Amino acid sequence: MVSSSPLVNRPATVVRAVAVEKSYGARERRVAALRGLDLAVSAGEFVAIMGRSGCGKTTLLNLLGAMDQPDRGEIWLEGRNLPQLSEEELTRLRRQRVGFVFQFFNLLPTLTVRENVELPLLLQGETSAIRARVDEVLVAVDLHDRAADTPAQLSGGQMQRVALARALVHRPVLLIADEPTGNLDSISAEQVLTLLKELPARHGAAVVMATHSSEAARFADRVLHMKDGQWTNEAGKP
Amino acid sequence: MSAREWSVAWKTLVARPSRNERGRTALAIVAVALAIAVVVAIRMANRTALESFEQTSRAVAGRGALTVHGPTPISSTLFPRLRWLGAYAEAEPYIDRYAYDPRAHDTLELLGLDWAAEVAHHLPLNRNLIAPGSRQQRRAAVLLTSYYAQRYHYRRGDWLPLVLNGRLVRLWIAGVLPQSKLATAQSGHIALMDVAAEAHLLGQVRGAPLRFDGLQLRLAPGVSEPWLASQVQPFLPADDHVEPAAVRRRQTEKMVSAFAANLRALSYVALLVGAFLIYNTIAMGVVRRRTAIATLRALGASRRAILAVFLAEALLLSVIGGLAGLALGRLLAGLALHLVSMTLNALYTVTHPKAVRFTAGDLVWALILAVGVGLISAWGPAREAARVAPAEGMRPGLYETQFAVAKHRWLWLGLACALLAAVCAKLPAIGTVPFWGFASALMAVLGMGLLLPFAVSHLLRLGRSRLLDPASAAAGRNRWWPLRLSLGLAAASLLSALRRTSVLLAALTTAVAMFIAVAIMVGSFRVTVSTWLGETLRADVFLRARDWTRSNNAPLPREVLRQLERLPGVGAAGEYSAVPETYRGQRIFISTAWSRDLESGRRNVRLAGEASGPMHRGCPLRFLRSAGDWNIWRRGSRRGEVFVSEPFARHFDRWPGRQIQLPTQAGPQKLRIAAVFRDYSSSQGYVFMNLALFEKLYGKPLASSAGLYARPGMTVERLLAQVTQVLASMPGERQALTVNDYQSLWREALKVFDQTFRVTWSLELIALAVAILGVANTLLAVALERRRELAVLLFLGATRRQTRRMLLGEAVWIGALALLFGTLLGVVLAAILIFVINVQSFGWTIQVHAPWTWLLPACLLVFAATLIAALGPAGVAAQVDPVAAVRVE
């Protein structure tokens, strides 16, 4: 059953946002992207965030994924308050605990499928058992036979599966997916969403996905709706 | 293509994107400007130097339409036979000598003409001419140019000290020449005196028939040059001839043509590097704007409009760069002229070029060159832009991988160029200009450029797989992992944009290769010259007249030499003489040398107890292919044969066993060549013969340089002190002669050598600077173009330091590969320079000695410069906003 509450207190909360505010632009043109938003996501949970373009979905994902800092409020990832961390600590946290999947795949065209997937491990300085872990994740996304290909040789759906493999290879606790099916046909989208639901859950990772598609949202455990930087289906405080 | 269509395409593809890339556009313009500046500067310097020759030649010996001259001076006894000429032409004898002004430490051309006619011509109102003074003053009267008088503070009525023909003379400044063609010749370094007075100053006996350098004929209106020449010729002695004045001017031009052509060719290296960079700038623009191009095409823009827009961008870059280059070139030209004239003075003849002159022709030429190079370079990428298919261009994330690099086709083309380079290297020079040698070098550069994609892609692929291989990283215990990762990703990035990488590398490789080639050539040449000097300069103390120049073999006063030879420390003496001559329309020198054991009085003998050396063994030469100089010398001399210098043998293709016909006092003589000797003192030919033969053919020689050998037990320092002391007692001679010991002469010769190559080094350094600007430009484009990829890396947990390091990693690859391929190409170019271009231009064989001891640090410096050039782009890469960058396709 799909819940609609942003704050469901469960024992193993992976990420928690408390009264988060974020604005963009200069003083007179300042636009509030998030207005005191709360959210808690547990291990193994799949949360979908829906809303119109510009409502603040991506801003929230970037904050949760330690890519950006809020103006006010707290974001706790595995017990660490992100606004209090240095740039270097945020980078390390992101490198080790977070995975990203983008709408435009964002694979590095210069690298092969295998090299793209290896990248997070290589950035961590991880050098042992890389091949085995990459093989494992490529098998999981059913692209083991395309490991030597470059992204240019793949279809959109295949590219997104590679992106998913890349996001999961270092076994993050949180997977951020920003419109992962926005560029895919319905069959490819379903394949990707199925994988998105199944693979992270295997090792207890939480997934936060922004989407316009109610079809995609159906795969989530919880669906939250956002408008003008606030939840529209708010159901409680942390 | 309508104007509106063009305007929309221009705004979308060039105007708007350029606003965000001002820095990059500026870098491209600076690179083009530098390249054009170098070419403009060398063109202006060459032209000014040649104009100086021409102007001097015109003013001095060419004011008449025809000149009469011969192997020996023209005697005044000829005049009665030419009396009939008066109806058709005005005949004026002249003497033209260089003199040294010891007060100003400058050289002056002393021109002897018909005094009365010249005064009447230049100073018709006698305003600037003071009244003739005493008889002594009248005999030494000279007109000085206003430039020279002002520069060295001479006034009318002053005495002008000059070293003329190895003697100190004093001339009386009777007046100052106003501005005129004559007064501006040699940039005002000219003095005019009566031709008879000058003849007497040069030692001609009063009352005897006078001897002149030549006779100029100013034709009366309506008289035809060929007709008069044909009429005059029968009245002349056998070896004398009459010819248009322009022929002599062309002789000078011909003499320096190889030097000028080499400089021009070197200056074009920077332009070639610039052309690579224009190509890259436009190509990168096409890649970066591919989506916009595709969109415009989908919306109905024609291929022609897209083509025109990118060509127009190149045109704009070229015009702005060309104009800036012209201005910069004008500034650099002064320096280039100074360096060029220094070389011409050292190697050929005295020249005082005036300040460089900027002409409308320079403007037009620079613009044509800039625009031509710009459009040719941009044609390929612009055509590719026009061919972008809308559907393909709009596919996301494919970047430059869309542009297939036909590296195998280029490989074959490259090999074909290499083959052509080898073929061209075998072809002979056209005149003295090694046209095919330049073509060979160009083919080698193009060949390497075409081979680069293939070679670079293999090396980068290897580098990427080895550096990003986790297994090998594990073996390295992760210590260097961050560095390996950055280099591996950099290799991958370069590999994905192989065309851009290859073109950038081609530019840097060319600049590095030329630098290395010139270093090897100059280094080898220096060692060769130094060794040759060591072998041929064996005396302990050397003497030469101060007014000696390459073209003015001023004699040493004989009585001074005899006095010095009587010094107790002198064991032996050697003397050398050279007289200018014309052989097959080109100026050469006939030379001889002799040594004398002062105890026995015997000539050209092995001097017992002296150090070994060719001069001491009686043989003044080092032969090209021989083991036993003394025997060749003795045998050839006994047979009455001559020895020719290597430049002579090569330029005229005259080798041992063949005969040459030389004009002599006794009429034309056929002489057999016994051997070819090495000579690095001049690229003009030398014909050497022993003293007996020289005396027979040209009369008693006057020594133009002399060497004194210390007796056993006498140190060089003591001998030098003795010589200096004797000269100090003769104030005139002290000022007229230069005295050097072996060491200082050797140092001076190498100093002159180094000076002659300063301009070459300057050109190479500018070409390198252009290439390094290209690195900065390209990496800045990479940083801008790969924002999205860098952003993804930041999302995946890369630090900003890592993204910066990745850009620096690209610079490391570019620098290292450019050095690798630049060294390979440099060695090939050095071989072409040494064995083809140098031999064909100057006729010198050079022993190869690569100066690795300083070349290696210089290469590391180039590498460091490449990294420094990458710092700015790396900073841009580190400032990428990842959130914004990943959202925009």
For residue B796, how many other CB atoms are within 10 A of its CB?
25
Q: What is the pLDDT of residue B424?
A: 93
Does residue A139 carry a pLDDT above 60?
A: yes
**What's residue B619's pLDDT?**
60
**Cβ–Cβ gap B397/A58 under 8 Å:** no
C-alpha neighbours within 13 Å on the C-beta side of residue B253: 14
Token digits of residue B792? 């993804």
Q: Would you say the C-alpha torsion B608, B610, B612, B616 has a positive or negative sign? A: negative
Nearest by Cα to B647 from B258, B264, B247, B248: B258
Q: Is residue B621 part of a domain?
A: yes
Indicate if the pLDDT at residue B422 is higher than 90: yes
**Do residue B632 and residue B614 come from a single domain?**
yes
Residues of B in contact with A105 (CB under 8 A): 396-397
**Residue B627: which pLDDT band, with cuts at 50, 70 and 90?**
low
Does residue A126 belong to the interface with chain B, where contact is any CB pair within 8 Å? yes
Determine how many CB atoms are found less than 10 A away from the CB of residue A236.
11
Residues B687 and B549 in one domain: yes
DSSP B612: P
Greater confidence (B409 vs B658) lies with B658
Q: Count Cβ atoms below 10 Å from residue B716 Cβ, excluding itself.
A: 17
Q: Which residues of A183-217 are buried (b: 16+ CB within 10 A; e: fewer)?
A: bbeeebbbbbbebbeebbbeeebbbbbbbebeebb
Nearest by CB to B789, which of A65, A88, A108? A108
What tokens appear for A113 in the block?
């499928």
Q: Do B397 and A151 touch (CB under 8 A)?
A: yes
Work out the average pLDDT over B15-23: 75
Secondary structure string (H, E, C) spanning B363-415: HHHHHHHHHHHHHHHHHHHHHHHHCCCHHHHCCCCCHHHHCCCCHHHHHHHHH
Residue that terminates a domain, selected from B688, B722, B745: B745
- Assigned domain for B810 exists: yes
B640 and B741 belong to one structural domain: yes
pLDDT at A225: 93
Q: Which of the residue ranges B64-73, B606-615, B811-820 has the most confident prediction, judged by mean pLDDT?
A: B811-820
Half-sphere exposure of residue B443: CA atoms within 13 angstroms, side-chain side: 19
Task: Look at residue B475 and tell me if it is in a domain.
Answer: yes
Answer whether B873's CB lies under 8 Å from B783's CB.
yes
CB-based contact, A91 to chain B, within 8 Å: yes
Decide: B187 and B59 in contact? Cβ < 8 Å. Answer: no
Whether residue B581 is found in the same domain as residue B612: yes
Question: Where is B91: in which H helix or E strand?
Answer: strand B89-101
Which residue carries 């996501």 as its tokens?
A41
The percent of residues in chain B predicted with pLDDT above 70, rounded, is: 85
Return d(Cα B619, Cα B629) in angstroms, integer: 7
Q: What is the mean pLDDT of residues A233-237?
A: 46
- B690: number of CA atoms within 13 Å, CB side? 21
Mean pLDDT, range B823-831, rounded to an integer: 92
CB–CB of A108 and B468 under 8 A?
Answer: no
Question: Measured between CB atoms, which of B470, B492, B802 is closest to A111?
Answer: B492
Does residue B660 sit within a domain?
yes
Contact criterion met (CB < 8 Å) for A123 and B481: no
Give B876-881's long-range contacts (Cβ < 8 A, gap of 24+): B876/B780, B876/B783, B876/B784, B877/B782, B877/B783, B877/B786, B877/B790, B877/B803, B877/B804, B877/B806, B877/B807, B878/B800, B878/B801, B878/B803, B878/B804, B879/B800, B880/B783, B880/B787, B880/B790, B880/B791, B880/B794, B880/B803, B881/B791
| Lowest-confidence region among B34-43, B341-350, B578-587, B629-638 | B341-350
When mean pLDDT is compared over A102-116, B441-455, B598-612, B738-752, the highest value belongs to B441-455
- Name B288's Cβ contacts closer than 8 Å, sequence gap at least 6: B17, B781, B784, B785
Query: How far from B244 is each of B108, B221, B236, B551, CA to CA, in Å?
Result: 26, 16, 16, 21
Asked if residue B761 and residue B720 are part of one domain, the reply reads no
Nearest by CB to B796, from A68, A123, A130: name it. A123
The answer to whether A119 contacts B399, with C-beta atoms less than 8 Å apart, is no
CA pair distance B478, B210, nearest whole angstrom: 92
Structural tokens at position A142: 């059913």
Question: Has residue B473 got a pLDDT over 70?
Answer: no
Contact B521, B504 (CB under 8 A): no
When comparing pLDDT for B857 and B60, which is higher? B857
Query: Which of A 141-200 lie inside 8 A of B, CB atoms?
Result: 150-152, 159, 166
Q: How many domains does chain B have?
A: 2
- Whole-number Å distance between alpha carbons of B344 and B259: 9
pLDDT tops 50 at residue B839: yes
Q: Which residues pair with B217 in a beta bridge?
A: B66, B91
Residues B798 and B766 in one domain: yes
The verdict on B786 and B884 lying in the same domain is yes
Q: Are residues B854 and B882 in the same domain?
A: yes
Question: Considering the domain boundaries, does residue B353 fall inside one?
Answer: no
Residue B402 confidence class, pLDDT cut points 50, 70, 90: very low
Phi, psi for residue B383 in degrees, rounded to 5 = -70, -35
Residue B204 lies in a domain: no
At B140, which amino acid appears?
A
What is the model's pLDDT at position B57?
62
User: Does residue A11 register a pLDDT over 60?
Assistant: no
Output the pLDDT for position B234: 85
- B776 Cβ partners below 8 Å, 6+ apart? B27, B869, B870, B872, B873
Query: What DSSP string runs through B145-206?
Result: EHHHHHHTT--TT-EEEEEETTEEEEEEEEEEEPSSHHHHGGGG-EEEEEHHHHHHHTTPPT
Q: How far apart are CA B626 and CA B678, in angstroms?
A: 11
Of the pLDDT bands very low, low, confident and very high (cuts 50, 70, 90), residue B413 is very high
Give residue-wise pLDDT tens across range B800-823: 888 888 888 988 999 999 999 999
The answer on pLDDT for B610 being more than 90 is no
- B397/A88 CB distance under 8 A: no
Residues of A (55-74) whose Cβ lies below 8 Å from B: 58, 62, 65, 67-68
pLDDT confidence of residue B398: 46
Among B684, B719, B745, the domain-final residue is: B745
B482 vs B234, higher pLDDT:
B234
Is the CB of A26 inside 8 Å of chain B's CB atoms?
no
What is the average per-residue pLDDT within B483-504?
84
Which of B700, B716, B745 marks a domain boundary? B745
What is the longest distance spanned by two Cα atoms in chain B? 102
* Minimal C-alpha gap between B467 and chain A (Å): 11
Is residue B255 very low, low, confident or very high in pLDDT (cuts 50, 70, 90)? low
What was the pLDDT predicted at B611? 38
At B459 the pLDDT is 92
A10 close to B (CB below 8 A) = no
Q: Which of A95-99, B272-276, B530-534 has the highest mean pLDDT?
A: A95-99
State residue B35's pLDDT score: 84
Determine, for residues A100 and B793 on separate chains, whether the beta-carbon distance falls below 8 Å. Answer: no
Mean of the pLDDT values across residues A163-173? 92
CA B733 to chain CA centroid, Å, is: 35
Q: How many angstroms separate the Cα of B5 from the Cα of each of B1, B16, B132, B303, B390?
A: 6, 16, 81, 11, 17
DSSP for residue A233: S
Question: Across residues B514-542, what is the average pLDDT?
Answer: 83
Tell me the mean pLDDT in the region B724-741: 79
Burial of residue B588 (number of CB atoms within 10 Å: 0-12, 13-18, 19+): buried
Q: Chain B residue with minimal CA distance to A59?
A: B883
The residue among A110, A149, A178 with the most chain B CBs within 10 A of its CB, best to mutate, is A110
Q: In chain B, what residues touch A62 (CB-CB under 8 Å)? A: 883
B498-536 and B758-785 helices, crossing angle to 10°: 160
Ramachandran angles phi, psi of A101, nearest 5° = -130, 130
Put simply, the chain B residues between 401 and 420 with a CB less than 8 A from any chain A CB are 401-402
Please determine, for residue B483, whether its predicted confidence score (pLDDT) is greater than 70.
yes
pLDDT band of residue B747 (cuts 50, 70, 90) is confident
Q: What is the mean pLDDT of chain B?
A: 80
Mapping DSSP to helix (H, G, I), strand (E, B) and coil, where does residue B450 land? helix
**What pLDDT score was predicted for residue A199?**
87
Find the angle CA(B663)-CA(B668)-CA(B669) to the nearest 5 degrees: 105
pLDDT band at B397 (very low <50, low <70, confident <90, very high): very low
User: CA angle, B189 as apex, B187 and B195 as ends, to 5°?
Assistant: 125
Cα end-to-end distance, chain A, whole Å? 22
Residue of B nearest to A148 (CA): B465
**Mutation site for A-interface testing, chosen from B796, B887, B889 by largest number of A Cβ within 10 Å:** B796
Does residue B870 share a domain with residue B850?
Answer: yes
Pick from A40-49, B21-30, B218-227, B334-343 the range whose average pLDDT is largest: A40-49
**Which whole number is the average pLDDT over B346-363?**
72
* Chain B residues touching A100 at Cβ < 8 A: 795-796
Contacts of A98 in chain B (CB under 8 A): 797
Average pLDDT for B68-80:
79
> Do B755 and B867 share a domain, yes or no?
yes
Domain residues for B729?
538-745
Cβ(B650)–Cβ(B431) under 8 Å? no
Cβ of residue B221 closer than 8 Å to a chain A Cβ: no
For residue B398, the chain A residues in CB contact (below 8 A) are 109, 152
Do B645 and B577 lie in a common domain?
yes
In the predicted structure, residue A235 carries a pLDDT above the cut 60: no
| B857 Cα to chain A: minimum distance (Å) | 34
CB pair distance less than 8 Å for A130 and B470: yes
- pLDDT at B613 (0 to 100): 39
Residue B753 in domain: yes
Please check whether residue B789 touches A, CB under 8 A: yes
- pLDDT top residue among B871 and B889: B871
Which one-letter amino acid corresponds to residue B625?
A: R
SS3 B725: helix
Q: What's the order of all strands across the beta sheet hosting A72-77?
A: A31-42, A13-24, A72-77, A80-81
Inform me whether the C-beta atom of residue B788 falls under 8 Å from chain A C-beta atoms: yes
Q: Report CB contact under 8 Å: A152, B792.
A: no
Tell me, what's the pLDDT at B722? 87
Q: What is the pLDDT of residue B254?
A: 65
Both tokens of residue B576? 């050398």
Percentage of residues in chain B having pLDDT higher than 90 = 7
Distance from B787 to chain A by nearest Cα, in Å? Answer: 11
Record the tokens describing residue B719, joined without a space: 């001998």
Do B674 and B573 fall into the same domain?
Answer: yes
SS3 of residue A70 by DSSP: coil
pTM, two decimals, is 0.76
Nearest to B198 by CA among B164, B224, B237: B164
Cross-strand partners of B167: B164
**Residue A65 DSSP one-character state:** T
At residue B311, does pLDDT exceed 80?
yes
Inter-chain CB proximity A67 and B795 less than 8 Å: yes
Q: What are phi and psi of B637, to 5 degrees?
A: -65, -40
Contact A110 B798 (CB under 8 A): no
Residue A97 in contact with partner chain B when CB distance is under 8 A: no
> CA of A127: how far to CAs of A53, A114, A163, A187, B478, in Å?
40, 14, 20, 36, 8
- List Cα–Cα distances, B163 to B168, B544, B601, in angstroms: 4, 12, 31
> HEC profile for B692-717?
HHHHHHHCCCCCCEEEEEECCCCCHH
Contacts of residue B768, Cβ cutoff 8 Å, sequence gap at least 6: B511, B512, B515, B862, B865
Q: Find where tokens 């942390």 sit.
A: A238
* Better pLDDT: B752 or A90: A90
Block residue for tokens 């050839």 = B636
Chain length of chain A = 238
Residue B626 lies in a domain: yes
**Do the chains contact at B470 and A118, CB–CB below 8 Å?**
yes
B748/A208 Cα distance (integer angstroms)? 80
